[in-house]
C-alpha cells in the first residue's frame, strides 16, 4: 500500500501552514521498513482505519482532483491521532505482559490472559493450546513489531511535515523512551528492580543491556540531529537532546554533552539562554535547582551549599528535561541536601571543564559570581580565584552587585578574609594583596590620600589603588574603571560606615594572615597597630583575646622546642621514635615561629641559653600585655569619645596605680588639649584641671608647676570653658593652693582679681561670667572678713550689691558683720538695700524683714515707736498672707509692750482679716483671748459674731461652742441656747457628734422639756437636711414603689407644711454644711434676727412653765435677763398653733401647744402619732 502515485501532480499546500516545497510531493514508500509496518498495521483494525483514511484521502486527491482532500496527509492532527492510537495499543500490550509475568511468578501456575488492543484480541499463555493465539515469547515479539511500526509511522510523519514541532517532539520522546528499559530484559525482573539495580551501580540502565541499544542510541541521536535542521530555534528540542546525550551516551563523554549545550547557546537567541543554562549548570555541578526557589539561612555554614533558583520552573511551571529526570532517579542534590556528593549522582565533568563553564555563566549572569566563588572554595579548591571573585564583588560599591542569596557585604568580607587568611600563598599568586586591602579599608584612604601602595589613576569605587590594580589584573575595562572613579569621593565614607562593626574582625584576620605566612614580628606589629586604631569595645575584646591567644601559642611552641631539645640530650636511643611523634607538630611550630627560627633552635645544643631566654621574653611580653589591658581599653573608649572626662580621670588613676605620676600628668595635659568643654560628658572639664593640680602638688611635689598650670588656665585662658562656674572652680583651687602655702596676700589678691571681671581673654564668655560667680564671691567675703579690713569688706559687699550678685544670705551676713562692728545704722541700710533687691514675694524677703525687725527692736526697743510702726506697716503691706501671721504677732507684741491696747487689738483684727483661711480660726481665738484679757469677757461677743461670719462651717461650729460656753459662764442661758441653735445648722450629727453632745449636756443641765424637745427637733431637721438620699421605709415595706429622692428644699418644705410654718419660696432657709455648697446668707448669720424670733417664741411659751406657771416664768426671766432682746429659737406664729389636749403628764402646763412630728423627720420609720414618746 502506498500513500500516493508518482504520476499524480503535487497537491497545493493547505493554508495556513503550507508544506515545504522539497517535500511537497510525497514519494511512494516501498522500503522493507514500510512494508513491515503496513503488514503490522493491517492486523489491528483501529490502526488500519487511520492508515486507510490517510491513503484514501491522498489517493482521492490525486485521482479525483478534489482540492479539499489533497492536504490530508499533511494534517498534523491526523498524524498525532495515528501515533496516539499506536501508543495506546503499545501501553495495553506492555501492561498485559507485565501483569501476566507477575501472576505466573506469584502462583507458579501457567495462566491464560485475554488482551484487546487496537481492535485485536490476544489469548496468551505460556504453552500452546487450542484457542491460544500467542505464547509469551510470541507476544513479546509482537510488541517489538508494533514498536518498529510505531517508529516507521513517526518517520513517515516527520518526513512529510519536517517543520512540525509536535510530531518531532512526539517521535523523539518515543525513541528516547525505548532506551529507558530494554525489551530483552529478563522476564522475571520487574521495572522497579531494574531501576534500583541501575541506580545502585550509578550507571544508566542501558549499560546493563546488550550492545543492541547502542544502535537505538545512534538512531535516536540521528533523529535529534535531523530535527534540528528545521527546529534549531526551539529550546525544548535542544534541552531534550542534551538530556538524552547526558543520560544515554554509551561513551559517557562529557565533551559530547558540552558541545550540545554550546551549539544550543549558539543557535538560540540570548533571551532564551537562561533555559539552557538551567540544565547546563545542573549537568556541570550536579546541583539541582531548589524547589523553594532559594535557600533559607539557618547556620553559619549554609553559605557553603550553593543554591540554584530554577528559572525554568519559575517561568514555565515545570522542570527542565535533565533536572526532571535526575530528580526522578534521585541523582544530584538540591539546597535541602548537603554538599557531599556521596548522596547523589556525581557528574563526570572534569574540574577544569566545569570551571570554564561556570566562568562563562558568570559572564552571562553576574549574580552567579558569588556562587562561583563558593564553588571554588568548597568543591574545586581554587582559593586564589575565589579570593579574586570575592574582591570583584566587594568592588561593586555602586550597587552593581546584589546578592540573590541575601548575602550582606559583611558576610562577603568575612568570606574574603577567610580565604586570604586560610590560603595566603594562593591569594598572593592570584594577585590579591590582602594586607594592603585591609589597611586601606580600615584607614579609609582614598586615591588622593595615597591608599595602600600609593595613589593612582582609575581607582575603583572603594577609592583604593590596590583594588583597582587587582581588578585590572582580572580584566576590568576602561569603561568600568571610569564608572568607578566617579564614585570615589563618597565610597570611602560609606564603606567605613558599613565596616565599623567588623573592624576588629578584619584586624584579627590580617594578623592571622601574617602568622600563617610566617611573618611573626609583622603579625605582632599588626596587633599593636590594631589596638591603637580600633574604636569599639567589642572590637577591642576580639583583638585583645586573639593577641593574647597568639602570645600563649608562642610560649607553648617555645616550650615544646625546649622539651624536644632536652629529650634529644637525655635519651639518644629514643630519638628516632621521638622524631616520628614530633613530625605531626612541625607544621604548627613552623606557623608560629617561622621556618628559620625553628631550624636555628634545632641546631643549637642544650647548653645554649637562647631558648630559655626566648621563653622568658615571650612570658614577659604576655605579662606586659595583660597589665596593659585596662589602659588599652581606656584608650579605646577615649578614641570613641575624646570628650569623656570620666575616662580621662580614670586613665590618670590607672597610671597612678602603676606608680607613673609623670604619665598621669601627661595624660591630663593631653586631655586639656583634646577635650572640648561644649561636648564633654561624664564630668565637668574643671575636674581635669583640679586633678592635674592635685597630682602636681601632692604626687610630684611641684607646687610651682601647679601654679603654672593654673596661671595658663585662669589668667591666659589656655582652656576655653563653656561654663563660668568651671572657671570659677579653677580660680578657687588657685586661691586654696596659695592658702595652703600660707601666702595670704596672694590668695586675697587672686580672689579680688577673679571677681573684678578683668581676668582671662576678653572674648571668653566664661571669663566674663566670673564677676557673677557666687563661689568666688563667697570666697572673697570669707577672705575679706578674715584677712582684710572693715573698709575692704564693706567695699566687697557694696560691690556685690551694686552688681546684684548678692543673695539674701549675703545681706544677712553683711548686716551681721556691721552689727558686730557697731555700725548699726549702716546695717539697717544694708537691710534696706537687700529688701530693695529681694522684695516680697521673694522667699528671702521674709528672712530679711524678720532679721531687720528683730535687730531694730533689739537696738531701739520702744524709743522709736513711729519708725517701728512704719517698718511693720511697710512689711505687712506687701507681705503675702501665708507669711503674715509671724509679723502680725510680732507687731502685736510690740504694741502691747510699747504701744496702746487699742492699737494692739486693731493689729489682731487686721491679722484675722489678712491671714489665710486655714489660719483664721487660730487668729480669731487669739483675738478673743487678747480682747478678753484687755477689755473683759463681754467684749468678745462681737468678735465671736465676726468669727462665725468669716469662718467655714467646721471652724464656725467650734467657735459657736466656745461662744455658748462663754455665755453659759455669764449665766446667759438663752443666749447660749440661741448660739447653739444657730451653730446646729453647721454641724452634721453624723460627722460632728461632739457639737450635739455639748448641746445635749447644756439642755440637760440648763434647759427644760420644751427646749430639749426643740433641740431634738432641730437635730432631726439638720440630719434630714444633711442627708443626700431619703427613702420612705414604710411604703417600701408595703410593696409600694420607691418614692422620689427628697432634696433639702423638699424636706424643709414638708417639715414647714406639717408644722404650719410659712417658708418664702424666694428666700428658703439654707443650712450650711455638706448638703449646701453655699456659704450662709446674711439673714441666717444675723444673731440679732435670731434673738428677735426667739422672743416671739418666748411670748407664746412664757405664760406657763414646767413647774407651775409663774415660777417658771420668773425663773426664765431671772436666768435670761428678760426682755424681747433675748434669744429666739424659731419663727413660729402662735396664732397658728393648735392646743394639745391635756394629758396626765402635762396637766399643770397651760398655753403650750403640741404638734405631731413630721414623718419626714423620722424617715418613715415611725408613723405619725400624737406626739413624741
Q: How far apart are CA 890 and CA 854, in angstroms?
A: 9
Residue 906 pLDDT: 92
Nearest Cα to Cα of residue 970 among 1008, 997, 930, 938: 938
Q: Phi and psi at residue 333, in whole multiples of 5°?
A: -155, 150
578 has a pLDDT exceeding 60: no
The answer to whether residue 1051 scores a pLDDT higher than 70 is no
3-state secondary structure of 497: helix
> Cα separation of 434 and 509, whole Å?
10
pTM of the model: 0.60
pLDDT band at 543 (very low <50, low <70, confident <90, very high): very high
* Tens digits of residue pLDDT in 382-412: 999 999 998 888 887 555 567 777 888 888 8
Binning pLDDT at 50, 70 and 90, where does residue 1095 land? low
Report CA 960 to chain centroid distance, whole Å.
67
User: The C-alpha cell of 850 is what?
Assistant: 524678720
Measured in whole angstroms, the distance separating CA 997 from the mean position of its chain's CA atoms is: 67
Maximal CA-CA distance, the chain: 172
Tens digits of residue pLDDT in 841-892: 899 999 999 999 999 999 998 888 999 999 999 999 999 999 999 999 999 9
Strand ordering across the sheet containing 113-117: 113-117, 120-125, 134-135
pLDDT of residue 775: 92
Q: At what angle do helices 465-473 and 434-443 cross, to 10 degrees?
A: 140
pLDDT band for position 113 (cuts 50, 70, 90): confident
Per DSSP, helices labelled H in 899-990 are 901-914, 917-935, 941-950, 953-969, 973-984
Tens of pLDDT, residues 1101-1140: 444 333 333 333 333 333 333 333 333 434 433 333 333 3
Select the more confidently predicted residue: 134 or 810: 810
- pLDDT reported for residue 694: 93
pLDDT-based confidence at residue 126 (cuts at 50, 70, 90): confident
At residue 747, the pLDDT reads 92
The rounded distance, in Å, linking the Cα atoms of 39 and 262 is 43
What distance lies between CA 688 and its chain's CA centroid?
36
Distance CA 914, CA 1170 (A): 54
Please say whether the beta carbons of 146 and 93 come within 8 A.
yes
User: C-alpha cell of 1040?
Assistant: 409600694
Residue 480 has a pLDDT of: 52
Q: Kindly state the average pLDDT of the residues 825-851.
A: 92
Q: What is the pLDDT of residue 630?
A: 93
Tell me the C-alpha distance between 321 and 736, whole Å.
94
* Helices and strands in the chain: count of H runs, count of E runs: 56, 3
- 366's CB contacts (< 8 A; 6+ apart) are 400, 401
pLDDT of residue 22: 37
pLDDT given for residue 1125 in this prediction? 39
Is the model's pLDDT at 1164 over the cut of 60? no
Contact 897, 912 (CB under 8 A): no
What mean pLDDT comes out for the span 185-204? 54
- Give pLDDT, residue 564: 77
Region 754-765: what's the mean pLDDT?
A: 78
Pairwise CA distance, residues 781 & 779, whole Å: 6
Of the chain, the end-to-end C-alpha distance in Å amounts to 143
- 339 or 583, which is more confident: 583
What the block records as the C-alpha cell of 248 is 544515554
Per-residue pLDDT, averaged over 34-45, amounts to: 84
- Integer Cα distance of 952 and 1073 in angstroms: 9
Beta carbons of 388 and 470 less than 8 angstroms apart: yes
For residues 5 and 55, give the distance between their C-alpha atoms in angstroms, rounded to a whole number. 11
Percent of the chain scored above 70 by pLDDT?
A: 67
DSSP 696: I
pLDDT value, residue 598: 45
For residue 199, name the pLDDT band (cuts at 50, 70, 90).
low
Residue of 305, 300, 323 whose CA lies nearest to 379: 305
pLDDT digits (tens, 9 = 90+) for 233-254: 999 899 999 989 988 888 788 8
Question: Checking phi first, is residue 210 left (phi over 0); if not, alpha (psi -120 to 50) or beta?
Answer: beta
**Region 502-520: what's the mean pLDDT?**
87
CA distance 232 to 267: 6
Q: pLDDT digit string (tens) for 468-505? A: 443 444 444 555 555 555 444 444 333 444 565 788 88
pLDDT of 146-157, one tens digit each?
A: 888 888 888 988
Amino acid at each position: 500500500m502506498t500513500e500516493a502515485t508518482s504520476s499524480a501532480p503535487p497537491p497545493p499546500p493547505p493554508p495556513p501552514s503550507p508544506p515545504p516545497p522539497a517535500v511537497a510531493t510525497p514519494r511512494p514508500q516501498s522500503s522493507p521498513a514500510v512494508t513491515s509496518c503496513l503488514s503490522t498495521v493491517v492486523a489491528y483494525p483501529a490502526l488500519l482505519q487511520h492508515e486507510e483514511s490517510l491513503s484514501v484521502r491522498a489517493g482521492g486527491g490525486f485521482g479525483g482532483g478534489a482540492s479539499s482532500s489533497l492536504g490530508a496527509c499533511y494534517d498534523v492532527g491526523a498524524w498525532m491521532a495515528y501515533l496516539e492510537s499506536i501508543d495506546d495499543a503499545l501501553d495495553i500490550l506492555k501492561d498485559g505482559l507485565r501483569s501476566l509475568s507477575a501472576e505466573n511468578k506469584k502462583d507458579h501456575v501457567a495462566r491464560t490472559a485475554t488482551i484487546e488492543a487496537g481492535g485485536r484480541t490476544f489469548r496468551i499463555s505460556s504453552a500452546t493450546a487450542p484457542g491460544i493465539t500467542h505464547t509469551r515469547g510470541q507476544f513479546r515479539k509482537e510488541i517489538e513489531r508494533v514498536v518498529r511500526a510505531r517508529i516507521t509511522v513517526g518517520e513517515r510523519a516527520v518526513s512529510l511535515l519536517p517543520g512540525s514541532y509536535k510530531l518531532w517532539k512526539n517521535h523523539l520522546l518515543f525513541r528516547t523512551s525505548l532506551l529507558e528499559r530494554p525489551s530483552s530484559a529478563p522476564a522475571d525482573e520487574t521495572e522497579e528492580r531494574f531501576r534500583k539495580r541501575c541506580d545502585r551501580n550509578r550507571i544508566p540502565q542501558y549499560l546493563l543491556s546488550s550492545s543492541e541499544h547502542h544502535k537505538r542510541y545512534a538512531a535516536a541521536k540521528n533523529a535529534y540531529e535531523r530535527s534540528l535542521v528545521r527546529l534549531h530555534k526551539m529550546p525544548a528540542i535542544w534541552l531534550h537532546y542534551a538530556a538524552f546525550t547526558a543520560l544515554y551516551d554509551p561513551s559517557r563523554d562529557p565533551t559530547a554533552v558540552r558541545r550540545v549545550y554550546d551549539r544550543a547557546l549558539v543557535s538560540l537567541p540570548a533571551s532564551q539562554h537562561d533555559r539552557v543554562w538551567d540544565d547546563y549548570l545542573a549537568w556541570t555541578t550536579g546541583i539541582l535547582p531548589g524547589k523553594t526557589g532559594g535557600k533559607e539561612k539557618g547556620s553559619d555554614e549554609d553559605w557553603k551549599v550553593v543554591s540554584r533558583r530554577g528559572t525554568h520552573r519559575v517561568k514555565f511551571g515545570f522542570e527542565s528535561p535533565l533536572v526532571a529526570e535526575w530528580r526522578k532517579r534521585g541523582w544530584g542534590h538540591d539546597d535541602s541536601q548537603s554538599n557531599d556528593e556521596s548522596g547523589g549522582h556525581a557528574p563526570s565533568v572534569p574540574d577544569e571543564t566545569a570551571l570554564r563553564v561556570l566562568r562563562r555563566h558568570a559572564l552571562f549572569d553576574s549574580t552567579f559570581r558569588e556562587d562561583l566563588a563558593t564553588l571554588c572554595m568548597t568543591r574545586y579548591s581554587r582559593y586564589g580565584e575565589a579570593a579574586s571573585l570575592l574582591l570583584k564583588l566587594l568592588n561593586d560599591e555602586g550597587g552593581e552587585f546584589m546578592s540573590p542569596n541575601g548575602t550582606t557585604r559583611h558576610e562577603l568580607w568575612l568570606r574574603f578574609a577567610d580565604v586570604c587568611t586560610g590560603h595566603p600563598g594562593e591569594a598572593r599568586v592570584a594577585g590579591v594583596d590582602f594586607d594592603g586591602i585591609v589597611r586601606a579599608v580600615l584607614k579609609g584612604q582614598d586615591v588622593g590620600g595615597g591608599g595602600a601602595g600609593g595613589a593612582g589613576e582609575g581607582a575603583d569605587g572603594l577609592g583604593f589603588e590596590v583594588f583597582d590594580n587587582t581588578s585590572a589584573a582580572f580584566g576590568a575595562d576602561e569603561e568600568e574603571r571610569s564608572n568607578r572613579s566617579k564614585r570615589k569621593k563618597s565610597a570611602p565614607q560609606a564603606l567605613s560606615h558599613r565596616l565599623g562593626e567588623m573592624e576588629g574582625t578584619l584586624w584579627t584576620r590580617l594578623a592571622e594572615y601574617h602568622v600563617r605566612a610566617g611573618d611573626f614580628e609583622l603579625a605582632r606589629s599588626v596587633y599593636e597597630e590594631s589596638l591603637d586604631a580600633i574604636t569599639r569595645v567589642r572590637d577591642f575584646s576580639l583583638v585583645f583575646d586573639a593577641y593574647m591567644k597568639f602570645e600563649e601559642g608562642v610560649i607553648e611552641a617555645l616550650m615544646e622546642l625546649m622539651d624536644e631539645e632536652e629529650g634529644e640530650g637525655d635519651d639518644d636511643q629514643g630519638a628516632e621514635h621521638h622524631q616520628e611523634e614530633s613530625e605531626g607538630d612541625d607544621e604548627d611550630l613552623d606557623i608560629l615561629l617561622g621556618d628559620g627560627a625553628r631550624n636555628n633552635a634545632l641546631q643549637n645544643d642544650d647548653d645554649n641559653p637562647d631558648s630559655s631566654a626566648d621563653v622568658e621574653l615571650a612570658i614577659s611580653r604576655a605579662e606586659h600585655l595583660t597589665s596593659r589591658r585596662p589602659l588599652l581599653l581606656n584608650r579605646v573608649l577615649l578614641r570613641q569619645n575624646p570628650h569623656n572626662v570620666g575616662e580621662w580621670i580614670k586613665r590618670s588613676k590607672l597610671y597612678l596605680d602603676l606608680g607613673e605620676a609623670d604619665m598621669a600628668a601627661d595624660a591630663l595635659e593631653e586631655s586639656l588639649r583634646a577635650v572640648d568643654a561644649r561636648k564633654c560628658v561624664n564630668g565637668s572639664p574643671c575636674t581635669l584641671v583640679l586633678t592635674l593640680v592635685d597630682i602636681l602638688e601632692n604626687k610630684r611635689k611641684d607646687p610651682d608647676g601647679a601654679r603654672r598650670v593654673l596661671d595658663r588656665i585662669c589668667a591666659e585662658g589656655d582652656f576655653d570653658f563653656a561654663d563660668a562656674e568651671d572657671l570659677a572652680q579653677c580660680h578657687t583651687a588657685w586661691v586654696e593652693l596659695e592658702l595652703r602655702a600660707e601666702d595670704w596676700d596672694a590668695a586675697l589678691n587672686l580672689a579680688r582679681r577673679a571677681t573684678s571681671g578683668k581676668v582671662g581673654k576678653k572674648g571668653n564668655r566664661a571669663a566674663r561670667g566670673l564677676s557673677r560667680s557666687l563661689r568666688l564671691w563667697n570666697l572673697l567675703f570669707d577672705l575679706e572678713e578674715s584677712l582684710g579690713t572693715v573698709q575692704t569688706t564693706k567695699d566687697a559687699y557694696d560691690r556685690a550689691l551694686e552688681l546684684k550678685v548678692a543673695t539674701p544670705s549675703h545681706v544677712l551676713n553683711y548686716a551681721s558683720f556691721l552689727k558686730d562692728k557697731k555700725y548699726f545704722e549702716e546695717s539697717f541700710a544694708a537691710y534696706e538695700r537687700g529688701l530693695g533687691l529681694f522684695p516680697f514675694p521673694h522667699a528671702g524677703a521674709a528672712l530679711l524683714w524678720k532679721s531687720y525687725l528683730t535687730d531694730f527692736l533689739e537696738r531701739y526697743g520702744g524709743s522709736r515707736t513711729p519708725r517701728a510702726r512704719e517698718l511693720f506697716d511697710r512689711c505687712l503691706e506687701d507681705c503675702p498672707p501665708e507669711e503674715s501671721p509671724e509679723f502680725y504677732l510680732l507687731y502685736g507684741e510690740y504694741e502691747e509692750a510699747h504701744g496702746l491696747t487699742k492699737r494692739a487689738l486693731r493689729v489682731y483684727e487686721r491679722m484675722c482679716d489678712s491671714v489665710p483661711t486655714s489660719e483664721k480660726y487660730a487668729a480669731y481665738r487669739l483675738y478673743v483671748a487678747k480682747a478678753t484679757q484687755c477689755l473683759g469677757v463681754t467684749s468678745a461677743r462681737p468678735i465671736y459674731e465676726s468669727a462665725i461670719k468669716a469662718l467655714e462651717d467646721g471652724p464656725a461650729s467650734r467657735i459657736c461652742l466656745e461662744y455658748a460656753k462663754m455665755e453659759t459662764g455669764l449665766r446667759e442661758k438663752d443666749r447660749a441656747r440661741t448660739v447653739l441653735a444657730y451653730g446646729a445648722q453647721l454641724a452634721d450629727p453624723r460627722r460632728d457628734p461632739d457639737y450635739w453632745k455639748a448641746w445635749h449636756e447644756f439642755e440637760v443641765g440648763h434647759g427644760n422639756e420644751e427646749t430639749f424637745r426643740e433641740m431634738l427637733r432641730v437635730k432631726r431637721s439638720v440630719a434630714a437636711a444633711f442627708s443626700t438620699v431619703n427613702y420612705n421605709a414604710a411604703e417600701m415595706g408595703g410593696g409600694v414603689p420607691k418614692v422620689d429622692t427628697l432634696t433639702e428644699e423638699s424636706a424643709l418644705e414638708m417639715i414647714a407644711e406639717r408644722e404650719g410654718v410659712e417658708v418664702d419660696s424666694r428666700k428658703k432657709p439654707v443650712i450650711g454644711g455638706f448638703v449646701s455648697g453655699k456659704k450662709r446668707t446674711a439673714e441666717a448669720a444675723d444673731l440679732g434676727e435670731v434673738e428677735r424670733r426667739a422672743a416671739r417664741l418666748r411670748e407664746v411659751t412664757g405664760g406657763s412653765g414646767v413647774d407651775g406657771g409663774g415660777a417658771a416664768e420668773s425663773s426664765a426671766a431671772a436666768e435670761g435677763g428678760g426682755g424681747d432682746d433675748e434669744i429666739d429659737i424659731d419663727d413660729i406664729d402662735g396664732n397658728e398653733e393648735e392646743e394639745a389636749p391635756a394629758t396626765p403628764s402635762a396637766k399643770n402646763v397651760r398655753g403650750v401647744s403640741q404638734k405631731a412630728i413630721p414623718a419626714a423627720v423620722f424617715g418613715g420609720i415611725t408613723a405619725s402619732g400624737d406626739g413624741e414618746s
